[in-house]
């Protein structure tokens, strides 16, 4: 079992999220000129998650959903307008919300169940199931939170078609 977690001040949490987004984008060769977009949006998303959990008393799953809704609402018009890849910017913005601690604790619980065999307590099994369920719900909340705003925005405000140039589809640069 891991030690209990302590609340992290908002400023530290937001800075850490920005660093994680920038590191992820750099690792996957995102152009440096694009990094500020997902970093700023990721920091805002992490702040909204922090506010939902710390101030509103929401669960981690609900906090992840709210943060991803914020990202989806902000990123959709930006990616449509600038013709940038939606999935790349969205995922980079929310990479700090991935439920890694729950996945690692679940994996550790599985190892304990296999190692201890019949000596494993019911608490080990219940904690393993709980961590796996929490991780799954966070991932589902993130997926719905990112794609739902995109679907709604593009349904009610379809993106402008690409500009035709000499019979080919081109990208308009102002």
Q: Token digits for 10?
A: 């908002």
Mean pLDDT of the chain: 87
Residue 169 reports pLDDT greater than 50: no
Q: Residues 59-86: what's their mean pLDDT?
A: 93
State the Cα–Cα distance between residues 30 and 79, nearest whole angstrom.
Answer: 15
Q: Residues 144-151: what's their mean pLDDT?
A: 95
Percent of the chain exceeding pLDDT 90 equals: 64
Say which DSSP state 30 is in: -
Structural domain contains residue 66: yes
Residue 81 reports pLDDT greater than 90: no
Structural domain contains residue 121: no
Structural domain contains residue 170: no
Number of domains in the chain: 1
Q: Token digits for 66?
A: 């709210």
Structural domain contains residue 168: no
Structural domain contains residue 115: no
Q: Residues 130-137: what's their mean pLDDT?
A: 97
Structural domain contains residue 5: no
Structural domain contains residue 109: no
pTM score, two decimals?
A: 0.82
Structural domain contains residue 2: no
pLDDT of res. 170: 44
State the Cα–Cα distance between residues 33 and 51, nearest whole angstrom.
Answer: 29
Where residue 95 falls among pLDDT bands split at 50, 70, 90?
very high
State the Cα–Cα distance between residues 21 and 156, nearest whole angstrom.
Answer: 30
Residue with tokens 């949006």: 41
**How many Å from the N-terminal Cα to the C-terminal Cα in the chain?**
56
Which domain covers residue 74, as residue numbers?
A: 10-97+142-160
């Amino acid at each position: 079992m891991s030690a209990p977690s302590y609340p992290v001040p908002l400023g530290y949490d937001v800075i850490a999220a920005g660093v994680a987004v920038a590191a992820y984008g750099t690792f996957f060769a995102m152009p440096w000129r694009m990094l500020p977009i997902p970093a700023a949006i990721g920091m805002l998303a992490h702040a909204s998650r922090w506010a939902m959990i710390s101030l509103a008393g929401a669960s981690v799953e609900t906090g992840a959903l709210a943060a991803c809704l914020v990202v989806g609402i902000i990123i959709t018009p930006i990616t449509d307008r600038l013709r940038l890849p939606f999935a790349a910017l969205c995922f980079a913005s929310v990479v700090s919300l991935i439920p890694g601690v729950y996945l690692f604790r679940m994996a550790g619980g599985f190892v304990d169940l296999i190692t201890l065999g019949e000596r494993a307590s019911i608490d080990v099994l219940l904690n393993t199931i709980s961590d796996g369920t929490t991780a799954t719900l966070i991932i589902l909340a993130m997926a719905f939170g990112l794609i739902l705003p995109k679907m709604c925005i593009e349904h009610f405000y379809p993106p402008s078609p690409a500009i035709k140039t000499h019979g080919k589809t081109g990208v308009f640069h102002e």
